[in-house]
Amino acid sequence: MADSKQVITKLLSDAGIAINGNNPWDIQVHNERLYSRILSGGSLALGESYMDGWWDSKAVDQFIYRVLNKGLDRKVLGLKNLVKLYVKSNFFNMQKLNPFKIGQKHYDIGNDLYKAMLDKNMQYSCGYWKNAKTLDQAQIAKMDLICRKLELSKGDRVLDIGCGWGTLLKYAAGNYGINGVGITVSKEQAEFARNLFKGLPLEVKLQDYRTVKDKFDKIVSVGMIEHVGFKNYKTFMKTVKSCLKDEGLFLLHTIGSNKTTTGPGEPWTDKYIFPDGKLPSIKQLVVATEGLFFMEDFHNIGHYYDPTLMAWNANFRKAWSKLRDEYDERFYRMWNYYLLSCAGGFRARHNQLWQMMFSNRKEVYEGVR
């Protein structure tokens, strides 16, 4: 244990992090077995030991930022866990075997949680903070940015793949006069959207994207392709192609990886937050669209995910006294770690957030900001 402690202490010191120090990003260790656990289990063990109360930090986001900024995640891998996930990722098409799993495991855990955490429009994706001062403003700006990029106009028929609680389609119907269809693999989201869409020319379907056969003027997918899996990117893009009218536009909004890999996603996130999730790289997405679309525009807004996640975490913590009857303390620590570690990751530019525009148009498309 002594050797493990020395190794971890040295690694953290290189990132400016002290054990039981006074800085907000320092960690307070409550169980001395933490050091050997992290060395053997990597990022999965780091997250699980936080959930178990083995360590704390006043600013988990700042701690994770420093860890990733120094590349400590590459120095403590937890090979056993990575090997298991690599085998699952490469020998099985998990997203095809059970496309509804992510809905059941993540999006169906309770609308009360998401209502408390998110903005008033229930947008569970990166806000656009360019001219915004609040989360509500940033999410309205994001929805309007998407509508303008898609050149929405009255009468357009729009498909939203992975429509969440349906609020983007509602915004587009109310402000741009569109009609459309949203698909989701979450029963809770579908029920919410069904009520939201009453009286509007919109419908929601509990449906896997592969089974959509209709035609649309515009297609949008926000924060969904992260659940598709690298083996299925071409299938996803072919589905969009088959559903998009000749002069249509397609907007893809996705978290992206800096590196192209065919391995598994991050182990702790895979186990507790987004099972079978996988962040695409630019290369993988471009290869998947080759021969199908022109790429019209590429916009990186990843730096705006940090304030979005911090706002979600503040809302979650503020609402915890009302939520604690539905969720236990371990869930609180898990969810807190999820939001803050993601914020730290985006702050370190460990991940990106891209909006990509595609078409088959002959006319020139002008990018919108």
Given pLDDT bands bounded at 50, 70 and 90, which one contains residue 265?
confident
Residue 200 has pLDDT above 80, yes or no: yes
Residue 11 has pLDDT above 80, yes or no: yes
Active-site residue set: 342
State residue 1's pLDDT score: 54
Residue with tokens 């975490």: 313
Q: What is the tens place of the pLDDT at every residue in 117-146?
A: 999 999 999 999 999 999 999 999 999 999
Residue 97 has pLDDT above 70, yes or no: no
Percent of the chain with pLDDT over 90: 91
Domains of the chain, with CATH numbers? Answer: 2-77 (no CATH), 98-359 (3.40.50.150)
Averaged confidence pLDDT in the chain: 94
State residue 89's pLDDT score: 44
What backbone torsions phi and psi does residue 160 show, to the nearest 5 degrees?
Answer: -110, 105
2 exposed, middle or buried (CB, 10 Å; 0-12, 13-18, 19+)?
exposed
Q: Are 208 and 99 in contact (CB under 8 A)?
A: yes
For residue 345, count other CB atoms closer than 10 A to its CB.
Answer: 25
State residue 2's pLDDT score: 60
Q: What is the tens place of the pLDDT at every residue in 143-168?
A: 999 999 999 999 999 999 999 999 99
Its pTM stands at: 0.94
Residue 85 has pLDDT above 90, yes or no: no
Given pLDDT bands bounded at 50, 70 and 90, which one contains residue 181?
very high
Residue 84 has pLDDT above 60, yes or no: no
Q: What is the tens place of the pLDDT at every residue in 271-319?
A: 999 999 999 999 999 999 999 999 999 999 999 999 999 999 999 999 9
State residue 139's pLDDT score: 98
State residue 79's pLDDT score: 46
The Cα 223–Cα 215 span in angstroms is 22
Given pLDDT bands bounded at 50, 70 and 90, which one contains residue 82?
very low
Q: What is the tens place of the pLDDT at every residue in 24-80?
A: 999 999 999 999 999 999 999 999 999 999 999 999 999 999 999 999 988 887 545
